[in-house]
A and B are shown apart, each in its own frame.
Chain A
Amino acid sequence: MKHRPSLPLALRIAGPALIVLLLGFVLLPVIVVTIASFNEKALLSFPPQSWSLKWFERALTYPDFRGGFRASIIATLWSSTIALVIGTGMAIAIKRFEFPGKNTLEAILLSPLVIPHFTLGLGLLILVSQLGAGRGYGLLIACHVMLVLPFVLRSVYVSMENLDERLEQVASSLGASPVRVLFTITVPLLSPGLFGGWLFAAIMSFSEFTASLFVTTQATQTLPVAMYNYVREYADPTLAALSVLYIFTTAVALIIANFFLGLGRILNIEESH
């Protein structure tokens, strides 16, 4: 590093040492839960005396987890896809058109980022109980659409910033209708950002817990809700095994996304020069 030859030796050691220490703190629970998941005993103890894979088997066969996984997949696929369609339309409308109430509408749609999930969950629970409606998949999906829409909006905004508006202008000056411009120019050019937004929404929806706890019943409980109910009843390492599967699947997905999409660019944390 040519431009800072004066960095004292102490700092050159202390800096990396601090980073290693902090990364260690971030990784600590992951390492500990991995060790615990292979422990043969039903009660947690460190270090484990004997090793086993049985908790992984139980995690994959436990009926509530299977049902929860199914419910989570249903809620996630529907809500993130609906949010993508709605959010893309809204983001394009916000960036390209003027209409009355635009700022208010945008503020309301972004508000679930700061409104506690327990408040929104409670509100929806009160609402359906007053309407005499049941807590079915419709409610769960509607709830998740509200919660993940802000993430879709934000990622479409970022892609719109990088989109050359002149391409749309050229198309319409050549006689393309607004609808045709939208579907042949705008949406295709946005598609990497749209995919990123969808993926982000899907992951957020899949792991959402607090609001889901309020709007689900035994029949529609998502995987995180099933996991929460499991901890309340059992203390064995089944959940550790499930957590390990969860963590490593997510990490591998992110490593792949980083390799192909460049997460630094999507997350806007790369220096421009």
Chain B
Amino acid sequence: MRSRLKFFLVFPSVLVALGVCVALLSVFQFSLRAYIPGSLEVGGFTLANFTGLSKPIYQTAFWNTLALSVETTLWTLLVGYPLAYALVRVRDRLLKSFILIVSITPLFLGEIVRTYTWIIVLGSNGFANSLLLKMGLVDTPLPLMFTKLGVLIALVHITIPVVVLMLATGIAHIDRDYEKAAQSLGAGPIQTFLTVTLPLSMPGIIAAMTTSFAWTFSAFATPQMIGGGRVPTISTLVYQLGLASTNFPFAASLSVAGLLFTTAALAMMGVGTRRLKKLGAH
């Protein structure tokens, strides 16, 4: 009875897991197959796809992806921490709800809506340039669309909600008695924050950093729509190769290289964050 119940609870999940595995294995398998132009069939096993990745355009894409992921992570932490702190510590219920709704609604809008709204802000006839021109701060529209800066601004905005949530979870679990103890021992508010609150919120910061990095790395709509082909990233090239040119083998090898690349980057972040965690230990 019990074992049959267990089977019914677990078996459907095994099917889903198999689906995930088979999809990933297809990518791995195709990354090692020769591309036959104009055909969805593939040739024999080869490493040519991976050696093809050394071309400048792909190196640019890897570099752009890495730079955008790192910069987005840093900026979202800077913007997200004060918001998360306010979200947890504000006492007024209405204000708290307001901060919560404003910070997390974007999480549920999906990449398209959020990226589109930034196109309207950043475009050359858009809000930012109209404002700057009217105020006489610039003479010609600033190039924000189709630039890395534009992509970065939108990515930071898109990553904020999830980072705020993770930081808020970390801050909410801090035992405030430690802060009170520091203050009763004579520490000022700034010193208390820097020596007690900030180190104790380290688990939240680490979770937020990792998620932000992985999300930015996977982001597709934002670099595609705001970059407009002029800010190639791994995701936009996989899309062009896989869906537009149906060069599955090359798109697959780019995906695999991307996966290895993120895994390596996250592992390096893991080593770095273990040191940070020690700072937070007490």
Residues of A at the B interface (CB closer than 8 Å) are 3-4, 6-8, 11, 15, 18-19, 22-23, 25-30, 32-33, 35-36, 43-47, 85-87, 89-90, 92-93, 97, 99, 105, 108-109, 111-120, 122-127, 129-130, 142, 145-146, 149, 177-179, 182, 203-204, 206-210, 213-214, 224, 227-228, 231, 239-240, 243, 246-247, 250-251, 254-255, 258, 263-264, 267-273
Contacts and interface: CB of A to CB of B under 8 A. Distances in A.
B71 interface: no
A146 B21 CA distance: 11
23 contacts: A19-B86, A32-B127, A33-B120, A46-B127, A90-B12, A108-B21, A109-B20, A115-B259, A118-B218, A118-B239, A119-B27, A119-B238, A123-B25, A146-B16, A179-B5, A209-B111, A224-B110, A231-B119, A240-B117, A251-B101, A251-B105, A264-B100, A268-B172
A127 B23 contact: yes
A239 B262 CA distance: 33
A152 to B, nearest CB: 11
Contact of B10 (A90, A126, A145, A263): A90
Contacts of A228: 112, 221, 225
Contact of A269 (B105, B165, B258): B165
A8 B172 CA distance: 24
Contact of B176 (A209, A268, A273): A273
Contact of A4 (B26, B100, B157, B189): B189
A57 B120 CA distance: 20
B110 A27 contact: no
B243 A4 contact: no
Contact of B109 (A19, A47, A207, A269): A207
Contacts of B14: 105
A247 B242 contact: no
A3 B180 contact: yes
Nearest to A88: B9
A20 B24 CA distance: 44
A243 B100 contact: no
A118 B30 contact: no
Interface stretch (B47-55, B56-64, B247-255, B274-282): B247-255
A254 B88 contact: no
Contact of A92 (B9, B102, B111, B121): B9
Interface in B225-282: 225, 235, 238-239, 242-243, 248, 251-252, 255, 258-259, 262
B10 to A, nearest CB: 5
Contacts of A6: 188-189
A258 B189 contact: no
User: Of residues B12, B23, B83, B243, which shows the largest number of chain A Cβ atoms within 10 Å of its Cβ?
Assistant: B23
A36 to B, nearest CB: 5
